[in-house]
Chain A
Amino acid sequence: MADFDQELDASGLNCPLPILRAKKTLSGMDAGQILHIIATDPGSVKDFDAFSKQTGNELLESKEEGGKFHFLIKKA
């Protein structure tokens, strides 16, 4: 996993909380900074992809590791 500026552990949270928490965390970050999100909700894979497409915040990485989902999002 590449470097990141902030981390958000959304493990155990279900739709739509991982997206809402990520949005809130991103709004406190600077453009270009990278947020690492950890989630356990399988729906979050498609949701973060859709979130990225609709908000312009780039999804740099999306993968499953150790039963958890990891996302790297770069703030637009």
Chain B
Amino acid sequence: MSINGLFQTGRNSIRTLESAMQAAGHNVANADTAGFHRRRLDVRSLGVANAGIMMRPGQGSFGGVGVGVAGFSRTRDAMLEGAAWQAQAGLGSAEENVRLGSALEAVLNPETAGSINGTLRSFWASWGDAVNTPTDTGVRRVLLNQASTLASSFRRLDGDLTRLQEEQVGSLDGHVGNANALLGTIAGLNDRIAAARTAGTPDLDAEDTRDEAVRALGGLVPVRVTEEADGSYSVAVQGMKAVQGREVLELERVGPPDNPTYAVRFKGTSVALLPGDGADTGRIGAALSGLTVALPQARQALDALAARLVSDVNGLHTAGFGLDGTSGRPFFDPTGTTASSLSVAITDPAHVALSGATGAPGDTSVGRALAELGAGFDEEALGLSAAAGRALSRARTEADARGGLADHLDALAGGVSGVSIDEEMTSLIRYQQAYAASARVIETARDLFDTLLAL
């Protein structure tokens, strides 16, 4: 090892430290970049074997020439990141459930003007008023108006549910489109990352971008990621390989009229995504669950309420007698037994049957029985909004819990991969001092060289 070797050692150290400071600077610059993993400089001790023939050490000479750059890598904990990605599915499901639940609660709110609960109450109260003054056609007309208002409320609520369903389909389509775009991004980046690694120059920015895409995908569908030997990710969604290398298996939404029910399938297969109960299945699973369970249940309950209203009211009304002494008329159109088709069949106030006998308007037995039906319907209508409220409350609690878990796992993963300015500053100072020390090595070598030349 000659004095030249000392120069070489100092030069290698300075080069390496410059790279280290460049990495620290890059970390500081990207401290707020989403998905950025702090870069780590991997160094290795340099032996003379790599230093050329002039540097070959003689017997008893030191065999090292300082330090060199082995490469750059991303600092991350794959296990924590994998757990954080999986936690996104639970959070995505819960947030989607809260979104739909909030909309459903607003639609079914019994305190809004024109709600089913309010119009039902007015409707039954009108029967009471009509019974109190059975020969007053004005009061009977008010009853018919209230009945029409009630039917309108049912139809409007049915329309609101239809619109909510359409919005939910649009939302699901959006989620499926986003998922497919992310799958495509991951596959594309897989290709780029594998090529870079093969070339020995890993594309760390591409790897960051791919991790961000996986994280976003995790919020849409539950994913399991396996890192292959070439650095590419294989992404499985409910056991199906959605990404393998550069290959993508996309998702597609099917539904009426082509398909009897709404579903999300893997394109070109008959394998459908299982929405489960809408938990841990990401936004897509929860949106699908909303379309196939929550919304149909609400509509079914509303239709059942309308059908029972028609059946119960008509059952009593057809047995009663109007002011004209005739009987057998249904109050509601018996063919309209859903919320969307509910309508009042009676148009003449005199045909409202309050009496239990012909020509006896003072016998209000039928009207009183009709007015008394209200209690059961109030309870059933309240059940609609209460069920929506309970579901939303559960979804919010779930979202809080899932959010807490996702935040915790993100914090743990971020604690490994995130940038700490303080830490980077400390490293910079350390590198700065090492740089000065390396310069001193070169200065020492020069002094030695000068001493030798001066002999």
Q: Do A and B come from one complex?
A: no
Give chain A's interface residues, CB within 8 Å of chain B: none
